[in-house]
Amino acid sequence: MAPHLTIEGLSVGYGRRRIIEALDLPALTGGTVTALIGPNAAGKTTLLRTLAGLVPAKGSIRLDDVELTGLSVNGHARHVTYMPQALPQRVALTVFEATLSALMSARDALPTKEAHERALNALARLGIADLAMRGLDELSGGQRQLASLAQSIVREPTVLLLDEPTSALDIHHQMRVMQLVEELARERAIIVIIVLHDIAQAARYAQRIVVLENGTIAADGAPGAAITPETLARVYKVEARVERCSHGFLQVIVDRAL
């Protein structure tokens, strides 16, 4: 059965400063992609880091019958993988070694051959098999982002959290990553939460959109319901049109900042 992730009464802050206050999110279901969008500083990264167990929080984050709040970082890592917005510091590993070590750190021991196959498969699915033996410190910005993504997907988590995973990518690789994320979600019934700033891209690839504003939910629903000119004006302070293109996909045309 597809897993469910439910958030109830979640409050998160840094020191005394509350960023997220009593947030409830109806269950996210495995096999679907949820896009988390919202203005800068809305709390998107904070929410993802909280779901990954990297920031202490009050309230409940339940994955089926397992309460995640209170689990150790390693306890979280068994269920949840988080790809950070800021790429990790330069490390003296090859792309293949980094992918393999991400896989090994998330799971109980796998036979070497199977682990190698999985790592290579993750690179191949992202179209970067040819980078396997290159050092992470000799990659371009976009290549590093793809390598970082390989480290997340290789773990085959139940919950996959991606924080702006396409921000450094050209349009071909953006599409490729979004298609792959959608495929992985469906193939393995993964719960995917992906932070994006490109609203049209979010609408095209996510089945559900959660709009975060000042740590609270401003809209939540299917793309057509969550993305409206009213929401964009209220949350993003822009005057915008939401229209369907000739293929039926939502497009956002921003006319001016309010």
Ligand X SMILES: Nc1ncnc2c1ncn2[C@@H]1O[C@H](COP(=O)(O)OP(=O)(O)OP(=O)(O)O)[C@@H](O)[C@H]1O
Cβ nearer to Mg ion, comparing 63 with 195: 195
**What is the residue whose two structure tokens read 């919950």?**
159
Q: Answer yes or no: are the C-beta atoms of 101 and 94 closer than 8 Å.
A: no
CB closer to ligand X out of 60 and 167: 167
To ligand X, the closest distance from the beta carbon of 50 in angstroms equals 9
Partner touching 14 among Mg ion, ligand X, none, CB below 5 to 8 Å by kind: ligand X
44 binds ligand X (CB under 6 A): yes
Interface with Mg ion: number of residues (CB under 5 A): 3
- Which single residue is written with the structure tokens 């976009």? 142
Q: Does 46 bind ligand X (CB under 6 A)?
A: yes
Per-residue interface string for the shown chain with ligand X, residues 2-41, x marking contact by CB under 6 A: ------------x----x------------------x-xx
Asked if 54 and 84 touch (Cβ cutoff 8 Å), the reply is: no
**Do residues 189 and 30 make contact, with C-beta atoms less than 8 angstroms apart?**
yes
Extract the tokens encoding 180.
């792959």
Stretch that binds ligand X, among 44-52, 167-175, 201-209, 246-254 (CB under 6 A): 44-52
Q: What's the min distance (Å) between Cβ of 118 and Mg ion?
A: 29
Select the span of 42-50, 93-101, 131-139, 238-246 touching ligand X (CB under 6 A): 42-50
Q: Cβ closer to ligand X: 164 or 182?
A: 164
Contacts to Mg ion from residues 36-65, by CB under 5 A: 44-45
Q: Tell me how far apart the alpha carbons of residues 1 and 65 are, in angstroms, rounded to a whole number.
A: 13
Alpha carbon distance 226, 178 (integer Å): 20
Give the residue from 15, 90, 19 showing the smallest Cα distance to 48. 19
Q: Whole-angstrom Cα distance, residue 245 to residue 111?
A: 49
Quote the CA–CA distance of 195 and 33 in Å, as a whole number: 11
The closest of 126, 179, 124, 115 to 148, measured between CA atoms, is 126
- Give the contact letters, 64-103, x = binds to ligand X (CB under 6 A), - = no: ---------------------x------------------
**31 φψ region: left (φ > 0), alpha (ψ -120 to 50), beta (else):** left
Strands 58-63 and 33-37: unpaired
Euclidean distance between CA atoms 122 and 154, whole angstroms: 6
Chosen residue from 34, 45, 81, 166 binding ligand X by CB under 6 A: 45
Determine the interface stretch with Mg ion among 25-33, 62-70, 80-88, 221-229 (rule: CB under 5 A): 80-88
Interface positions, 202-241, toward Mg ion (CB under 5 A):
none
Q: Which is nearer to Mg ion, 32 or 45 (CB)?
A: 45
Footprint of ligand X (CB under 6 A) = 14, 19, 38, 40-46, 85
Footprint of Mg ion (CB under 5 A) = 44-45, 85
